[in-house]
Chain A
Amino acid sequence: MATLEIKDLHVSVVSEDAPKEILKGVDLTIKAGETHAIMGPNGSGKSTLSYAIAGHPKYTITSGTVTLDGEDVLEMSVDERARAGLFLAMQYPVEVPGVSMSNFLRTAATAVRGEAPNLRHWVKEVKGAMADLDIDPAFAERSVNEGFSGGEKKRHEILQLGLLQPKIAILDETDSGLDVDALRVVSEGVNRYKASGEVGVMLITHYTRILKYIQPDFVHVFANGRIVESGGRELADVLESEGYVKYTGSKEAAALS
């Protein structure tokens, strides 16, 4: 049973001038079988949390710990974290010109699984996974994310999620930029992943609409670099009607739908 444990995590970003503290003591434990929704206003530090867990070099951990099944995640390189079973579906997936999607997927699967997948099975597996997400097979020969629309990028993040089968998945605003049909297709992809095994999900979102498709067990309100309130599904309904005003003190629109 996988457990991701985040304790008193403080993170700064290295910008041009002085380092700026963005995460100010995050505590969160995600166990296999659980889905945690993290909701918060723009700029509250949700992406910073996900990048810090994944090991993005721009973010410096100033204190706190992150462990996966007791192993120190912060000691691991970015690729070691992924091979240990962490996955981050990025808010803004990166374009890698000249590297075909199929080559990329196969290289990643080989790295994560520890051996090259049997070619024949693999081709079938990818085809099936792409079809499940309504992705045109022609995408396999295109460069990774290059020229993809926002929605196409998100579908491909979930495609990778399905193929790499991590223990814990962090989905950073996978719902943003998706139209109604795409949101359904992508949510079904996440639910298939959840049903596939004992896995945990951290679902970062700004809106409650994805929670209609993906049932959260816990909802956390994220504001100003930390979790300010936690509850069950019902907390999302409160956010839906009241917005984040209560937590930010400002008039951030209750842009929830």
Chain B
Amino acid sequence: MAALSTKPHSHGAVVPVSSRAEHFTSYDVNAFEVPGGREEIWRFTPLKRLAGLHSGAAATGTAAVEVSAAEGVTVETVGRDDSRLGTAGVPGDRVAAQAYSSFENATIVTLPGDVKSEPTTVTVTGAGVDAVAYGHIQIKASQFAEGTVILDFRGSGAYADNVEFLVADGAHLTVITIHDWADDAVHVSQHHVKLGRDATIKHTVVTLGGDVVRVTPVVQYAGRGGDAELFGLYFADAGQHQEHRPFIDHAQAKCRSNVVYKGALQGDGAHTVWIGDVLIRAAAEGTETFELNRNLILTDGARADSVPNLEIETGEIEGAGHASATGRFDDEQLFYLQARGIPEDQARRLVVRGFFQELIAKIAVPEVRERLEAAIEAELEAVGT
């Protein structure tokens, strides 16, 4: 079956329309041109605010990585030359390649096989105001491992990194990444997920703080039966830019993916971008995939861009779909709650909490769930509607 990503040209040639399949990747920063802002993958990103992460800024500091490891989980700090690094995926844009070309040490966290481990928390603290840092983290779930890793990003400065998730055959990894940066922070991050046969990942991205946060989670399947659930929850205030670009690359048969990202925006210049790419290659027969992005705009002056892309190169799929909706606050919901005596500000909070509820309910770590609920509460407090 012909790829949907190509279209016939008037001269009979076939001209590809930027298919995800042809997306360029390299470990070497010099293989990428410095982006000018017009490029498809950069056109939504405010390059001027990236502190030069995209144009060769040298590291001026180091982000501190602290791991609070559960029993049985091993933590290693390794040099650039460790052969295990880079196996989950190849950087897909210049900033990711810059990070890969620039980090000095990497942290490898390994969950033991065949057992269930308690949650492990990796805390990354930025190098400080005006400092630039690069990093690399690899999370490995050994065969039949089962466990949760929380990645907690905080502090100040500009930071670019690659985070690898190697989920071995039959392993079940739950990941919660929280971007709770200080107001000045800039973070450009690529996540590389590689799922073994019958491996599953539940990958949740939470973005609350920072000036610019851009996260590109890429999922690849190394065998049949892989299952990826990607959830995202973001809340952008005045002036914040939050960009999430999940890409699911279905190249194996009988795999599943489900992507649900939800965001709320408030305040002047709050900007969120969601680009959800799903590619079902010819070999990926029996794929089942769905992706959804919903945005709730709470005030004027906020803007949400949402672009789902589904490319299907095989007719033999189980099911594929996508949906995207961006809406203003629902006045009918507000009216209904107020008509029962609930004051307007409280009614608003109920509706927003309700909007995020399905995702929050999926977070299995109570402390993280409570922290998120409190964070959303604080965000809503800040509007003072």
B358 at the interface (CB under 8 A from A): yes
Interface of chain B, main secondary structure: helix
User: Interface residues of A, CB < 8 Å — how many?
Assistant: 30
B340 touches A98 (CB 8 A): no
Chain A residues with CB under 8 Å of B72's CB are none
B338 touches A82 (CB 8 A): yes
B339 touches A98 (CB 8 A): no
A94 touches B332 (CB 8 A): yes
Q: Give CA–CA (A104, B339) in the complex, Å.
A: 12
Chain B residues with CB under 8 Å of A160's CB are 340
A98 touches B356 (CB 8 A): yes
Chain A residues with CB under 8 Å of B335's CB are 54-57, 78, 94
A79 at the interface (CB under 8 A from B): yes
CB distance from A155 to the nearest CB of B (A): 16
CB distance from A210 to the nearest CB of B (A): 22
Say which one of B167-175, B280-288, B344-352 lies at the interface with A.
Answer: B344-352
A79 touches B342 (CB 8 A): yes
A63-93 vs B: 1/0 string, CB under 8 Å? 0000000000000011101110001101001
Q: Give CA–CA (A240, B71) in the complex, Å.
A: 77
A140 at the interface (CB under 8 A from B): no
User: Interface residues of B, CB < 8 Å — how many?
Assistant: 23
A54 touches B333 (CB 8 A): no
B351 touches A96 (CB 8 A): yes
A99 touches B351 (CB 8 A): yes
B37 at the interface (CB under 8 A from A): no
Please pick, from B336, B338, B357, the residue contacting A90 in the complex, using a CB distance under 8 A: B336
A126 at the interface (CB under 8 A from B): no
B342 touches A111 (CB 8 A): yes
Scoring A90, A96, A160 by chain B CB atoms within 10 A of each residue's CB, the highest score goes to A96
Please pick, from B336, B344, B357, the residue contacting A98 in the complex, using a CB distance under 8 A: B357
B116 at the interface (CB under 8 A from A): no
A78 touches B358 (CB 8 A): no
B340 touches A112 (CB 8 A): yes
> Please, which residue of chain B has its CB at the minimum distance from the CB of A56?
B335
B341 touches A99 (CB 8 A): no
B354 touches A107 (CB 8 A): no
Q: Give CA–CA (A160, B343) in the complex, Å.
A: 17
CB distance from B130 to the nearest CB of A (A): 40
A158 at the interface (CB under 8 A from B): no
Chain A residues with CB under 8 Å of B372's CB are none
Chain B residues with CB under 8 Å of A107's CB are 337, 342, 346, 350
A108 at the interface (CB under 8 A from B): yes
B353 at the interface (CB under 8 A from A): yes
Given A98-B353, A111-B340, 7 other A-B residues pairs in contact with their CB atoms under 8 A: A77-B344, A82-B341, A97-B358, A104-B350, A111-B346, A112-B340, A143-B354
